[in-house]
Amino acid sequence: MHDIRAIRENPAAFDAAMARRGLSGVSAEVLAIDEARRAKIQAAEEAKAESNAAAKEVGAAKARGDDAEFERLRALVSEKKAEIANLTDMAKTEDKRLTDLLMALPNIPMDDIPDGADEDDNVEIRRWGTPREFSFKPKEHYEISAAQDGLDFETAAKLSGSRFVVMSGAIARLHRALAQFMLDTHIDENGLTETWTPILVREEMMYGTGQLPKFGEDSYQTTNGWWLIPTAEVTLTNIVNSLVVDESYLPRRYVAHTQCFRSEAGSAGRDTAGMLRQHQFEKVEMVSITHPDKSQEEHARMTRCAEGILEKLGIPYRTVVLCTGDLGAGMRKTHDIEAWLPGQNMYREISSCSVADAYQARRMNARFKPADGGKPEFVHTLNGSGLAVGRCLIAVLENFQQEDGSVSLPDALNRYLGGKTKISAEGILV
């Protein structure tokens, strides 16, 4: 959410930032509502002052026997009370309109974010690894013999519908091993704190991280009002919801492995084959809560944590900075890490590492007390996939597939697979 004071002080700068998001003349609407709200508040305060002054005179009029003045003043006090109540209600209505509008507006892109319309305008900033040259035509993950018995889309469709999968045998174990490997790496080498959180949250938690109100159709809500999390970003970030922490508390670096749920409402017809885009999936999510002066440094650190997972697995990737047209609504800057998928002959997103600055913190009212005793300030929040487990499974299967239909497994996973190094063409860990 945006700071209304900053918009008042420099509406032109705010409009210029929103224009990069494809929105025009936003400040005029914001300031009109703000002015109406402030006018009602001021009018209520003036009416209250008049009411208080009249109330003081009521007793004096009665004492001197001026019944006419007494009745006039009593009527005035009663009239002002009604006026105050009406103005207060009107101010609350305008305040809600203002909050709803500010909640719905996207974050301000950083100055170094490239302008662009969509993912085609994202800018690559680095690559790691060289895509393997195959002596045969590489297959997509669901076509590889080693994976076919372990990826059951037909049974999943019977159980739940499209965009679900039942994993079994070696594939299920590999999937679990990848998640465990990611967690251990982030905890033991990257210094993140392992955290276990609920996957059902209250509505205000979804508002806190910006999934609501704009993206409600992309998530699932239960009949009693809980929401299924689309990512552990929601729970991990909201740990500091409504808190005022000491500066020494920062930074906080969390990691959690959770089930995630997305309706994929805006992706009809995209990636329907295989398990690239699912309604239910798993992610190892990273969240950092930082001092405002450290959030850019933390963003670079978080990106490296995610990239390091792919490097340990030996999976080629590229890192891109998202342009304004592809940038998530709540973020100021995002690095997408895209793993090479030889079956598709292209790089596909496997992690997004983003910095929101104070946008989420203001929604959550999450602040810290400066060590020098100054006024509490909003913390900065960051989140990133470390990584999407299912997509990492796809990358391993496709990059290490063999001509006979088997899949060799990265050395980094050996200790999680009981020393097994391969999935045979028959789907057996050997």
Core vs surface per residue 155-171: b (16+ CB within 10 A) or e: ebeeeeeebbbbbebbb
351 is in an annotated binding site: yes
Quick one: how far is CA 420 from the chain centroid?
37
Between 26-63 and 11-19, two packed helices, what is the crossing angle to 10 degrees?
Answer: 140
354 is in an annotated binding site: no
Q: Is 29 annotated as a binding residue?
A: no
The answer to whether 267 is a known ligand-binding residue is no
Structure tokens at 368: 């810290």
Sequence-distant (≥ 6) Cβ neighbours of residue 82 within 8 angstroms: none
Lookup: tokens for 260: 């995630």
State the residue for tokens 């301000």: 108
Characterise 254 by phi-psi region: left (phi > 0), alpha (psi -120 to 50), beta (else).
Answer: beta
Ligand-binding annotation for 385, yes or no, is yes
Does residue 232 have a known ligand-binding role?
A: yes
* 50 annotated among ligand-binding-site residues: no
Number of C-alpha atoms within 13 angstroms, CB side, residue 85? 6
Sign of CA dihedral 68, 71, 76, 77: positive
268 annotated as ligand-binding: no
Terminal Cα distance for the chain, rounded: 52
Run of H or E including 78: helix 67-104
Strands 380-388 and 227-228: unpaired
Q: Count of alpha carbons within 13 Å of 96, Cβ hemisphere only?
A: 5
Annotated binding residue 135: no
Preceding amide of 251 cis, omega within 30: yes
377 is in an annotated binding site: no
The answer to whether the beta carbons of residues 279 and 164 sit under 8 Å apart is: yes
Query: Is the separation of the CB atoms in 3 and 362 below 8 Å?
Result: yes
In the three-class reduction of DSSP (H, G, I as helix; E, B as strand; rest coil), residue 263 is classed as coil
Coil, helix or strand for 88? helix
DSSP track, 332-401: SEEEEEEEEETTTTEEEEEEEEEEEETHHHHHHT-EEE-TT----EE-EEEEEEEEEHHHHHHHHHHHTB
- Tell me the binding residues for ATP: 262-264, 349-352
- Tell me the binding residues: 231-233, 262-264, 285, 349-352, 385
- Tell me the binding residues for L-serine: 231-233, 285, 385
